[in-house]
Every structure is written in structure tokens, then in C-alpha cells.
Amino acid sequence: MYNNHTDDYVLVLEDRTEVKNEAEVGKLSVVSDIDEKGKLKTAPAEEAQQSSFLKFNNRDGLLKNFMTNFLKQFNDPKRFGLYKVLASNVEQGVKNLKEALQNRDIPENKQQLETAQVRFGDFLPQQKNATAINPEQIDWKLLETLGLSREKLEQSGELDKMLSWQKSKLLPIAVPFGDSTVYTEARLAFRTDENGNIGLAVHSLRKEPQLDFPYMGHKFSAEEKETLLATGNLGKTIELTPKNGETFSAYISIDPQTNEVLALRADRVSIPKEIKGVTLSDQQYKDLVEGKAVKVEGMTSKNGKSFDATLQVNAEKKGIEFIFGDKKSLQERKAQHQEQGQKQGGIPRKLCGLTLSDKQRESLNAGSTLYLKNMVDKEGKSFNAYVRMDKEENRLRFYKWNPDKKQDKGKVEAVAEENKTQVAVNNHGKTNEATKDLKEPLKSQQTQPTEAQQAKQEQKAKRGRKM
């Protein structure tokens, strides 16, 4: 990672545990090391100690990880202060800091301290918003303009993910364009706008990554393009400047599903020193923070088995990804996603209220016909039916009889949505008290006997009583 070291800084710790009043300055020392449990080591602010100082840079994510460990040690961090001082002139910088702390009420000093201070509140653990989105807050009409609906998202199995603030897989959408419609695919996600309203983020499919254009002020070099196209990750952090925003350091990756270039702020990634039972070496940890791929051996899985993998920060995954075997190229990742999509096709995880197993989904996608029980129609009534995938229209179809077998009438009848209750009663043994004694099939949408059928029932009942 490029670094000219001119903007490296150290952290000066002000220990106020023994001060007697607010005006008094605490003991000042420079941070030299910290372990994963938050145990801190410091050194005197002397030039001779320069090699022992722990140095930071705004372009890396070391400060975030340092603060995560630092705050583990202190129940009351208010008794301490942390300030940034340029590493190139530590002695003078600490001297100026002490003078500013002694006269902190002077406006000039107050401004200097606010600029240099590291605020603990920026790094304290935040309560995660694990609350799922209320479906009633969604503007479903907006989705309908893209050819989607709540029912389609439920059937695809993607709605639950989206309501948990995650991206969907690639979904077919129809985008109105003047008097015509553009059909494409996109990953969708619900997001909040400045006013707190739930909106829809559309991550459309691109033919290839757009690397020839500046990305938030950064122009990719030929070497960076080659790395991104080869691996999907840039392998380092870069400085980005969004419109009307402040510059920040970020990891860059390519979404293998959409070819979209994605950024992940480095200061929002917490990288632990210990991963899956293995404590990273200082070099492994440094390389991982800088965005490089790191091979880690002897990790332990949830089932207790040992495994090896290559670790690297991935912007699309918003954290560390595990790459097994040989490091997969971007093209291999794309092929893997396409294979997974083709394997399950357009088969939903839930069909009319019935959760399908992976084996059932694979069978339907392969063209097999399944007889499914205990599905629920729009009226809340249970029904059974034969189901088969219509590959031409990429949709599931319901049938009264097995479409794979020759029928007496020479045709197979599909089930209309409003007639699913009749299918369940006529063919699959469901009970309808008003019609259970009839020997002939019910007509479409019929739930009560006709007059003629009622007369036959009464006549049969009279004969039964004579016996």
C-alpha cells in the first residue's frame, strides 16, 4: 500500500486516574503496543523511543481495530484521553499538546484539542439494528413498476433477506423506458432515505465492471484494473471522495453477480486478531488490514474440524471472506454464482405457504413433476396439486391430474387460482361437508350441491332409513 509516511501519527495517552481537578493535566505517554485483550503498553514521548511507537495512518483501518481492543480494558474510558500527534515530531507535538491541555479554555487551544482528540464515542459498540423492516412500510406499488410484487419476492425466497436489510440475488425486472420496457436483471435491497422512508436500491446487472471511469474521485491504474478483474478484490485500500462528502479510506471489490464496483469504508471494518481459533501473526494482521489476501492454516470450524483458507476483506460481503482451495478468480466466482442460480432456477423456497426442500426445488428445476400436499390458496384454504416447471415461461404450473400421464379426456387440466379448493376436494380426499356425499365432480368454484344433486342426496338418505 502506498504510504509516504508524512502523515503517520502516534497516539498520546492522557492518564487522568490520579488528577485532582479538571484543570490538571494527566500523565502523557505514547502508545507502543496493545494486545487483543486491550492490555496497553506505552513509552515516554522521546525521540529515542521512536522505533517502539505504534504508528497509524488515515489510509488504513488500524485505528478502528486498535480502539476496539483498547475499549475492552476500560470500564470508564472518560478517565483517559487519546490524542493524535504527528510521528515525525513527537517530542514537540506532545509539548504543544500539554500546553493546550493546561490552557484548554483558550478558544485557539480548544479548537486544536478538538482536532487532535480521538473520541471514544465514535468507537463504542453500537446496538445493531437487527429489527426487520415492517412490510407495511414498503411501497409495493413501486415494485410493481419493475414487474415485481410481494408475492413474487416471497416465492423467490428473497423477501426475508431484503426485510433484514440484505441484498437479494439477481432477479428479473422490467424497467419502463419511454413507450417501451427494458428487461434486465438486478439485485435489490431496501434502504432508508434522508427522511427515514424505506426506498428501493436497484443494483442492475452490468456487462462488465466500469473501471475506465473515475470512481468517487479515484482513477484506477492499469495494474489496479488487472488485479480487480483477476481476483475481484483490489488487495489494498484507496482514498475516495464522494460528491459533497469527506475523503475516506476504502476497500474495493467487484460484485460477481452484477459486475458493480463496490466500496467498503475501512473504518467500518473490525478485524479481530484471532480468527476461528488462530491468533494472527503481526504480519498477517497488518496484511489483512491493508486489504491483502492472507493464507491462514489450522482454523477450527463449528463442527470442530480443522481447515485452511485464504482470508481477505471483501467489500461486497462487508467483511472478511473465506476463500477455500486455490484463490478463486473473478471469472470463477461469476461461474459459481451462475451455477448456483441455474441449479435452483426460478424455483421459490416457499410455494403457496409450503416450504420446499432443496431436493424438491432441484427436482422441479430439472423438469420433474411433484405431487405437493398442504399448500394454501389465496382464500386460506388447503389444497394438493401436481406441480411442474414451465421452462418456456419460467413459471410453475399446477395441475389437477399428473401431466406426465395420459388422461382419459386426452388433455391435462391446469388449476386456476380460484379453483384450487375444488381440486383438493375432487381429487385428493379433502372434506367438504356440504358436498362430501356427491359421487360426481364439483363444477368450477362450486362449494354447495346443485338442486338436482341435493334431491339425489335426499332420495338416497330416505332409502337408507327404510333399510
Least Cα distance to 133 among 148, 150, 156, 146 occurs for 150
Query: What's the confidence (pLDDT) of residue 392?
Result: 65
Bridging pattern class, strands 171-177 and 233-240: unpaired
Across the range 373-388, mean pLDDT stands at 87
Exposure class string for 211-249: b at 16+ Cβ within 10 A, else e: beeebbeeebeeebeebbeebbbbbbbbebeeeeeeebb
Helix (H) or strand (E) holding 62: helix 62-73
Q: Which residue has the higher pLDDT, 345 or 10?
A: 10
Helix (H) or strand (E) holding 107: helix 107-116
Query: What's the confidence (pLDDT) of residue 303?
Result: 81
Most confident by average pLDDT, 20-29, 62-71, 214-223: 214-223
Query: What's the confidence (pLDDT) of residue 275?
Result: 92
Could you report how far apart the first and last alpha carbons of the chain are, in Å?
Answer: 97
Q: Measured between alpha carbons, how far is 212 from 227 in angstroms, rounded to an integer?
A: 14
pLDDT at 154 over 90: no
Percent helix / strand / coil, the chain, rounded to 5: 30, 30, 40
Query: What's the confidence (pLDDT) of residue 48?
Result: 86
Q: Measured between alpha carbons, how far is 59 from 273 in angstroms, rounded to an integer?
A: 20
Q: Where does 258-399 show beta strands of DSSP type E?
A: 261-265, 274-275, 278-279, 294-300, 306-314, 319-323, 350-351, 354-355, 370-376, 382-390, 395-399
Q: Measured between alpha carbons, how far is 321 from 333 in angstroms, rounded to an integer?
A: 13
Long-range pairs of 201-206 with CB within 8 A, sequence gap ≥ 24: 202/146, 202/173, 203/167, 203/255, 203/258, 203/260, 204/258, 204/260, 205/170, 205/257, 205/258, 205/259, 206/258, 206/259, 206/260
C-alpha cell at 269: 471494518
Q: Measured between alpha carbons, how far is 78 from 14 in angstroms, rounded to an integer?
A: 10
pLDDT at 238 over 90: yes
Among 183-192, 322-331, 370-379, the least confident range? 322-331
Task: Give the pLDDT confidence of 381-397 residue by residue, as tens digits.
Answer: 889 999 988 766 667 88
Across the range 89-118, mean pLDDT stands at 89
Residue carrying C-alpha cell 401436481:
386
H helix runs in 215-345, sequence order: 222-231, 282-289, 330-344
pLDDT at 401 over 60: yes
Q: Measured between alpha carbons, how far is 280 from 286 in angstroms, rounded to an integer?
A: 9
Split at pLDDT 50, 70, 90, the class of 270 is confident
Describe the strand order of the beta sheet including 261-265 as a list of residue ranges. 233-240, 248-254, 261-265
Contacting residues for 317 by C-beta, under 8 A, at least 6 apart? 253
pLDDT at 2 over 50: no
Across the range 422-431, mean pLDDT stands at 45
Q: Which residue has the higher pLDDT, 105 or 227?
A: 227
Contact status, residue 361 vs residue 378, Cβ threshold 8 Å: no
Provide the whole-model pTM: 0.53
Question: How do the domains of the chain map onto residue ranges?
Answer: 9-122, 135-204, 222-335, 350-430
Query: What's the confidence (pLDDT) of residue 121?
Result: 74
Angle between the 330-344 and 358-365 helix axes, to the nearest 10 degrees? 90
Least Cα distance to 113 among 83, 80, 89 occurs for 83
Q: Measured between alpha carbons, how far is 442 from 448 in angstroms, rounded to an integer?
A: 9
Q: CB count, 10 Å around CB of 467?
A: 4
Among 2-11, 27-36, 411-420, the least confident range? 411-420
Least Cα distance to 32 among 16, 20, 48 occurs for 48
Q: Measured between alpha carbons, how far is 266 from 449 in angstroms, rounded to an integer?
A: 70
Split at pLDDT 50, 70, 90, the class of 435 is very low
List Cα–Cα distances, 274 to 35, 72, 236, 284, 424, in angstroms: 11, 15, 21, 11, 57
Contact status, residue 272 vs residue 285, Cβ threshold 8 Å: no
Split at pLDDT 50, 70, 90, the class of 47 is confident
Q: Measured between alpha carbons, how far is 460 from 437 in angstroms, rounded to an integer?
A: 10
Q: CB count, 10 Å around CB of 286?
A: 15
Residue carrying C-alpha cell 382419459:
408
Query: What's the confidence (pLDDT) of residue 331?
Result: 67
C-alpha cell at 273: 486478531
DSSP 277-301: TEEPPHHHHHHHHTT--EEEEEEE-
